[in-house]
Amino acid sequence: MTYVHDTISSLQLSSPAQSEFYQAVEDVLSSLSPILESNNFYKKQAIIERIVEPERQIMFRVPWVDDNGNIQVNKGYRVEFNSALGPYKGGLRFHPSVNASIIKFLGFEQIFKNALTGLPIGGGKGGSNFNPKGKSDGEIMRFCQSFMNELYRHIGPVTDVPAGDIGVGAREIGYLFGQYKRLTGRYEGVFTGKSLLWGGSLVRKEATGYGTVYFAQYMLDDRGDSLQGKKCLVSGAGNVAIYAIEKLYQLGAIPVTCSDSTGTIYHPKGIDLKLLKRLKEVQRTGLIEYLETYPEATFTPVADYPKDGHAVWRYSADAAFPCATQNELTENDAEKLIENGCKLVSEGANMPSTSGAINLFISAGIAYGPAKAANAGGVATSQLEMAQNSSMQKWSFQTVDDHLKQIMKNIFISANEASHEFGQAGNLVLGANIAGFKRVADAMIEQGVV
């Protein structure tokens, strides 16, 4: 696949030292060979050369004052990657690991994820290396206001509609939206993930976690199986993990793990969802406090993790739901999962499995739902929020959840059908990439050389 090597080589020159971005591009392009080899028209239109370059990259400084009166400076990003299908759509991430490479890999993945939903949204991503952990509400408010002082110039309800991501929840969205309204004088649906009091949608908080479980259900349905009674490993303890656990319980499965930056909880009887919500959504504490209520559970601190992976994947289970962060599931983790009888992996986080792990899952023939398909529920429900804002309506929880369920089913069908069409039945990595690529590429061609 010369074009993959040539594309990566070109990106290494034009966008140096962006390894996560190269990984995302290589993973996508490697699976596109069947469609590119069977349809030379895409090559003639230079679709690959155009699609790997963002339409716009915005980088800016974010100065703010901490509670001690000291001036702090962070870096802000917004990468508007592709608008062939609609306004740029993708979250903002506030985390110390954020850099241009991380944002570009997330934005590139977002193009195809958003295309798979079948909804009119393009791909983008943004964020900052600001760490909200340990900061007061006042510090977070001042940072968000400074961040918005620059970002407001580049976003709008039919231009670019950000949402939350890691480190950006309802509190941060509120501060960002408030400053946008102050600067522009407009009250409009420029953000999704808003409070239910002022334009937010029901199910948005639950959507990514619910969606990845729905996707798992459809993968198992296709194999004549179900989630009922399945023992499940879940990583993370944020929105995605919490609501994946909630939906797993609702569908009769037994989630036995969760994790955060301090370590991993393993509770064979099943994670206490109410306690987890209290610890992470109300008290905002570490998971070790789970043991105060359930001393029989096991807590593995990060310092005791295996050198080649994550403790959460070393337990025996029927299914795995990586819902924490990128590259959290290594090749060695994948080997352990398969050895321990895992038959399904559905990704709730963005690109949580390494390339080596993905190859093992595909080779083993297990049901594997890649992130751009399995975790598209969040952005899909964001678009449903945009639709409600545009029509000045508010839909019921059941209405939004029914839409989400159908969107996840459509995503599975599109990816599965593409995998059959191109001779790799059940390979949803190939199927999702091809289905998403084809929709974006055809739109780009119809819109001319832009």
Active site residue 372: no
Take residue 223 and report the two structure tokens written for it.
């194999």
CA distance 129 to 437: 30
| Catalytic residue (one of 104, 125, 135, 247) | 125
Residue bearing tokens 């793990």: 257
- Which residue type sits at 389? N
Read off the tokens for 199. 């334009």
**3-state SS, residue 324:** coil
Euclidean distance between CA atoms 69 and 64, whole angstroms:
9
C-alpha 61/C-alpha 75 separation (Å) is 5
**214 close to 377: Cβ distance less than 8 angstroms:** yes
Bridge partners (DSSP) of residue 234 are 321
Supply φ then ψ for residue 347, to 5 degrees: -90, 120
Beta carbons of 355 and 362 less than 8 angstroms apart: no
Closest CA to 202 of 373, 9, 26, 399: 399
Element (H, E) at 211: helix 207-222
Nearest residue to 309 (alpha-carbon basis) of 335, 338, 288: 335
Residue 25: Cβ within 10 Å count? 23
Max CA separation in the chain (angstroms): 63
- Active site amino acids: 125
